[in-house]
Structure 1
């Protein structure tokens, strides 16, 4: 191995809280495997206790980028591409504002943001809230913009888009495809913007790519243990893990 990489790898191994970060990457994958959601809501509150805010988001993006790629050819055929184009336009315009806030926010404030936001989203999920109004094409730019801001400042771009598709008239295949492609696109857009700003430091990139292993293992095991007849039970377990992770990330408790 090149000496430079060995030096980076040595730095990765000295990251504070590394065993906890590895464990939460596995747990986040496990929950994603049997429930289909929750990666950022579980991972970020814990990772934020040990990593600087930018590093926490970089590791999440690197970890979450590779796993879904084999599914892209299939979901691309099912996708509603005009919806995606409008969403991504909003992301590209507004995400830099979210990143600008991220770069100046205090790490403790970042932990409050991700933990409180995860708890708010959890309440929305448990309540079963669905938006029943009509979302016209121009509104998709706004939904993409909100997702871009939240993705830039807190690493959680999915909820506005997911809530929209929960209420959309599209069929399950389109909803699955657009949600998956949107999250992959977010990872790519954020990586490019971080790269242009010189934020993609080698250590969090290598750490994030390394976390792909426990995360994919968790995804695999979660998928294997999933049984459709127990879907409500799995969902309740996912909610409990998200709540525990979010609460543990609140600075006043640590």
Structure 2
């Protein structure tokens, strides 16, 4: 396959291992697959190709979990997801018009802000007001297009509240599945979506299924405190990675 010709055997092995690890994080934390996998895939592919492959994988695994989303996701997830659909393309257009150095700075600041928000005291369980929910949806969509990162406004929205972690995880993953669909549609609209990328996504998908399944098993066995600490760790790693890219 022409796409796979750019990979050596060792690179394919690393991609599969990284896919498994990133899917485990997703199954455990409810997000984070792109944080781990995009930099690995970008070693042999362009960044936008790497992001589109992640979108394929996120959509595939998300569709397999649709029943879980419908059962556990909070109503706000569908509101935010709808706004993500509308605002992803504008985010992509903003990225195209933003100088690369400024874009890297803004992405790093977004990652840092998400980590800072998750450290704040846990808020009450009830759903935030319409303004907060709509803001989270708009910003998540813009960041999906601008940085391939729908999570920074979404993770604090759910993890920062005293709600059951099953609800928080299902709500986040429902939104990220919608964001993956929006990312693929936007990639097609701007002429960047090549169907050959689908084949590599299909090659990697079994590792996603296995890693996500094992992560979900771990999710069911750890305490709420351990889970929230793991989420904070993943966000911290994302923030540090963004800063590293900015400085080096």
Name the TM-score, length of structure 2 as normaliser: 0.74
Deviations 1:190-216 (CA, angstroms, capped at 9, x unpaired): 211211222112343332332222222
Query: How big is the shift at 1:65?
Result: 1.6
2:151 to 132, 153, 158: 158
Query: How big is the shift at 1:117?
Result: 4.5
Say which SS state the counterpart of residue 190 (structure 1) adopts.
Answer: helix
Change (3 A) 1:203 1:239: farther
1:178 aligned onto 2:171: yes
Query: How big is the shift at 1:105?
Result: 6.0
Change (3 A) 1:58 1:109: farther
Q: May I ask how many residue pairs the two structures share in their alignment?
A: 246
2:30 to 36, 59, 82: 36
Query: How big is the shift at 1:40?
Result: 2.5
Rounded Cα–Cα distance in structure 1 between residues aligned with 2:25 and 2:183:
24
Work out whether residues 32 and 234 of structure 2, in 8 Å CA contact, stay in contact via their aligned partners in 1.
Answer: no
Work out whether residues 28 and 38 of structure 1, in 8 Å CA contact, stay in contact via their aligned partners in 2.
Answer: yes
Rounded Cα–Cα distance in structure 1 between residues aligned with 2:120 and 2:202:
34
Stretches of structure 2 that go unaligned for 5 or more consecutive residues are none
Stretches of structure 1 that go unaligned for 5 or more consecutive residues are 1-5
Say which SS state the counterpart of residue 146 (structure 1) adopts.
Answer: helix
Work out whether residues 57 and 154 of structure 1, in 8 Å CA contact, stay in contact via their aligned partners in 2.
Answer: no
Matched ranges for 1:188-227 at <5 A: 188-225=181-218
Which residue number in structure 1 is paired with residue 85 of structure 2? 92
Rounded Cα–Cα distance in structure 2 between residues aligned with 1:90 and 1:98:
12
Which residue number in structure 2 is paired with residue 3 of structure 1? none
User: Which of 232-241 and 65-74 deviates more?
Assistant: 232-241
RMSD between superposed Cα atoms in Å = 3.9
